[in-house]
Amino acid sequence: MNQIPESARRRMQAQTAGDHPDADLLAAFAEHTLAGNERERVLSHLAACTTCREVVSLAMPEQSDAEVVAPAAHAWFRWPMLRWTAVAATVVVVWAAVSVLAPRKQNQEVAAPVVESVPAAKTAEAPVLQGSVEKKETPPPNSEKKFAARDESRQRADSAVAANQPKTQALPSVAESRNAQMADKVTAAEQPAKPLEAESAKTKAMKVQGAKEENARKDALTLDAAASKGAVSGGIAGGVVRENVAVTAQAAPAAPPPATQNEAVNVKRQTAPLGGLRAGAPMVLSKAGRVEEGAVRWRVSSTGAVERSSDGKSWVKVEIDPGATFRALSSNGGDLWAGGTGGALFHSADAGRSWSRVKVGDEGMWVTDAITAVDFPSPRNGFVTTASGAIWATQDAGRTWQRRQ
Partner 1 sequence: MALQKKSPAPVGFAIWYDSPVLSMGGTQASGPRAILAGLESLVGELYERSGAARYDLPRADFVAALEQVVRKYVSDAGDPRRTSEFLAGLRVEELALARACAAGNEKAWEEFLTRYRERLFDSARAITKDDATGRELADSLYADLYGTNTRDGQRVSKLASYYGRGSLEGWLRSVLAQEFVNRYRSHRRTVSLEEKEEDGVQFAAAPVEPQTSADPRLDAATDAALASLGAEERYILASYFLDGRTLAEIARTLGVHESTISRKVEKFTAALRKKTLDELAARGMSRRQAQEALDADVRDLRVDVRARLAQDTAAAPFLESKRRKQ
C-alpha separations of 212 from 164, 166, 182, 190, 206 in Å: 16, 18, 9, 12, 10
d(C-alpha 288, C-alpha 85), whole Å: 9
Using rule CB under 8 A, residue 390 touches partner 1: no
User: For partner 1, which is the closer residue by CB, 37 or 400?
Assistant: 37
Using rule CB under 8 A, residue 75 touches partner 1: yes
Among 58, 188, 198, 365, binds partner 1 (CB under 8 A): 58
Using rule CB under 8 A, residue 51 touches partner 1: yes
Using rule CB under 8 A, residue 259 touches partner 1: no
Contact 386, 368 (CB under 8 A): no
- How many Cβ atoms are within 10 Å of 44's Cβ, its own excluded? 12
Give the x/- contact pattern for partner 1 in 78-117, rule: CB under 8 A: --x-------------------------------------
d(C-alpha 312, C-alpha 322), whole Å: 24
**Per CB under 8 A, which region of 71-79, 164-172, 310-318, 343-351 contacts partner 1?**
71-79
User: For partner 1, which is the closer residue by CB, 261 or 386?
Assistant: 386
Among 36, 72, 115, 220, binds partner 1 (CB under 8 A): 72
Using rule CB under 8 A, residue 53 touches partner 1: yes
Supply φ then ψ for residue 300, to 5 degrees. -105, 125
**Per CB under 8 A, which region of 11-19, 99-107, 252-260, 393-401 contacts partner 1?**
11-19
Binders of partner 1 among residues 345 to 384 (CB under 8 A) are: 370, 372-373, 375, 377
Using rule CB under 8 A, residue 341 touches partner 1: yes
Helices 201-229 and 79-110, interaxial angle, to 10°?
Answer: 150
Using rule CB under 8 A, residue 28 touches partner 1: yes
d(C-alpha 349, C-alpha 115), whole Å: 57
Q: Quick one: three-class SS letters along 213-259?
A: HHHHHHHHHHHHHHHHHCCCCCCCHHHHHHHHHHHHHHHCCCCCCCC
For residue 12, the minimal CB distance to partner 1 (Å) is 6
At residue 43, the 3 state secondary structure works out as helix
For residue 386, the minimal CB distance to partner 1 (Å) is 10
**Per CB under 8 A, which region of 58-66, 88-96, 107-115, 230-238 contacts partner 1?**
58-66
